[in-house]
Amino acid sequence: AQSVTQPDIHITVSEGASLELRCNYSYGATPYLFWYVQSPGQGLQLLLKYFSGDTLVQGIKGFEAEFKRSQSSFNLRKPSVHWSDAAEYFCAVGAPGAQKLVFGQGTRLTINP
Amino acid sequence: NAGVTQTPKFQVLKTGQSMTLQCAQDMNHEYMSWYRQDPGMGLRLIHYSVGAGITDQGEVPNGYNVSRSTTEDFPLRLLSAAPSQTSVYFCASRSGARITGELFFGEGSRLTVL
């Protein structure tokens, strides 16, 4: 069965600084990978997804993620964060063709002005 | 454009009481699911459905029942609430049974069991 780990529970960055959120997965082959964002008091929204092909994927709100098979990672990045990026971010993994998605524990992002 | 609607948004129960969390979607999605969100645990799948009349268990199904009589609705029932069921519950839907589709989430229902 697949699993996903987000090593950082809470990250604080200054507005305008770059951001990288870590995600490591466990799966025997190449899984399908996702990043979702949860703004305070809201449900989750899809940022981006990776199924195959180009290992660098672009998402909404200026986010990107890179799939690295050798490191079993799918880290989320943004070159310059905005105060509105303060939220909780979830990495998720699923087996190709599966119906169920497994979410990580989440990383809470705080932005300092 | 309502999307996924959950009711109620907040509920307080006493141990042993029963209740139903309602979820409705207006996007004609085949797949619907219930997750619970707990601090440090992320989202865990409770039950899911790939169409009317079809339901299946997720990671943490114990203490919860579901049914899917229509495409639009997917209620979650707690038959005898326990303090361990204090959580935030999210309903989510997508257009296909497979995970390639985007999950659309409701705003959540915060349940406290005393």
pLDDT digits (tens, 9 = 90+) for A59-79: 999 999 999 999 999 999 999
Nearest to A100 among B42, B48, B105 (CB): B48
Three-state DSSP state, A61: helix
Please check whether residue B103 is in contact with residue B43, taking contact to mean a CB–CB distance below 8 angstroms: no
- B26-75 confidence digits (pLDDT tens): 999 999 999 999 988 899 999 999 999 999 999 999 999 999 999 999 99
**Residue from A45, A100, A108 to probe the interface with B (highest B Cβ count within 10 Å):** A100
Enumerate the residues of chain A whose CB falls inside 8 A of the CB of residue B101: none
Please check whether residue B45 is in contact with residue A100, taking contact to mean a CB–CB distance below 8 angstroms: yes
Among the listed residues B33, B19, B21, B38, the one whose alpha carbon sits nearest the alpha carbon of residue B82: B19
Please check whether residue B61 is in contact with residue B34, taking contact to mean a CB–CB distance below 8 angstroms: no
Worst-scoring range by mean pLDDT, B2-16, B64-78, B94-108? B94-108
Number of CB pairs, chain A paired with chain B, less than 8 A apart: 60
β pairing state of B109-113 and B10-13: parallel
The nearest CA of chain B is from the CA of A9 a distance in Å of 8
Mean pLDDT of A85-108: 93
Nearest to B42 among A32, A90, A95 (CB): A90
Q: Is A52 on the interface with B (CB under 8 A)?
A: no
Contacts 24+ apart (CB under 8 A), A64-70: A65/A23, A65/A33, A65/A35, A67/A33, A69/A30
Assign residue A9 a region: left if phi > 0, alpha if psi is -120 to 50, beta otherwise?
Answer: alpha
And the tokens for A102? 């497994």
Instruction: Identify the pLDDT of residue A84.
Output: 95
Say yes or no for a CB contact (<8 Å) between B102 and A44.
no
